Amino acid sequence: MQPVTIQTEGMIHIFNGFHNPNGGSEREALSLYELLRGKSDVQLWSTSSRTSEELAAAYPIRRVAPFKASVPRGGTYVFVGAHWRNRLWPYFVGRPQRLVYVFNTFHPKLLELTSTPPPLLRWPATEFVLISSFQAQLLGVKGEIQPSPIDIGRFAPRAREAHAQPVIGRLSRDTADKHHPDDIAVYKALAARGCKLLLQGATTLAGALPKDDAIRLLPEGAMAAPDFLHELDIFYYRTGEHVETFGRVVLEAMACGLPVVCHRHGGYADVVRHGENGYLFDTSEEALAILDQLIGQPALRAQIGAAARRTVEQLYSREALDARTAFYLRDTPR
């Protein structure tokens, strides 16, 4: 990362910690960069000293370093999974014309931190971008609602032979809060029914699940997400303490033409229409009943998966993407 002072007022500056190549906020920041860079000058900024070497090698990420004159000097500042409160460096950068915070989590304390910039900064009021109506209602916040960007060319259906034993799976970060404790019983029941389970980002469950050839646990990032999803027949998803304000991985599975079976409590529920392009459940019993139906009916899996793909294509159509991009290209807030 070479020192640089960028002073273009019309430029869009995207801030993130860029720690984890598989992290949701990192992927969202980079997807936003890809979406905007053909229509505006865009610069990526790392707010952390622990920037991923892999990401730094793949993208033009610069470290915010005011004492090395490596700072932005105005324009539109877009914070994705990073914030400016209780930090020294914002006092050394130029005043932005616009201040945008992509609020992709459910943390009321972060909402409080980012809602009003420190008075001494003289920064403009925060414009929030929320990633689902579910999140907006949960937090009681008004703002621009835009789903997380997804590359539907990369996440797309792939022709392959059907598995003799249906493969049911999910992927996420490999942390306990991403997994619901009741899913242990669900996984055991599915294995007993003769299904295969492929769970990426699930080594944290190793001590709770039996050693069974039908259950395969992979560490986070073991396979590229599209390749992993193409190994599945059904995508299943429920989290524990972590609240999915959007649930990007669910939309990626839908983009790959998979029938999704998901817990109702999540931002993806804004998109999943039960029984039409996917399924929503409240209890483990409901989940297993839905899964049993899909396991026994390959044609139903194909029908629901095709509807899921059409939904995602509409959500990420060129017209829809252009409308979302226009928000960031405004000169001043409305």
* Per-domain boundaries in the chain: 5-149+317-329, 167-314
Q: What is the pLDDT of residue 139?
A: 85
CA distance 81 to 246: 14
Beta strand 126-130 pairing with 98-103: parallel
Fold identical between 5-149+317-329 and 167-314? yes
Q: Enter the CATH code of domain 5-149+317-329.
A: 3.40.50.11090
The confidence score (pLDDT) of residue 9 equals: 60
> How many helices, marked H, and strands, marked E, lie in the chain?
10, 15
Task: State how far the Cα of 282 lies from the Cα of 83, in Å rounded to an integer.
Answer: 34
Look up the CATH superfamily of 167-314: Glycogen Phosphorylase B; (3.40.50.2000)
Reduced to 3 states (helix: H, G, I; strand: E, B; else coil), residue 149 is coil
Q: What is the mean pLDDT of each run of 10 residues along the chain (334 residues)?
A: 50 94 87 92 92 95 90 93 81 92 79 80 91 89 90 92 89 95 97 96 96 95 96 97 91 98 96 98 98 96 98 96 92 62
**pLDDT computed for residue 333 by the predictor:** 58
Q: For residue 2, what pLDDT is reported? A: 44
Can you give the pLDDT at residue 253? 98
> Taking each helix axis from N to C terminus, what angle separates 318-329 and 24-36, rounded to the nearest 10 degrees?
90
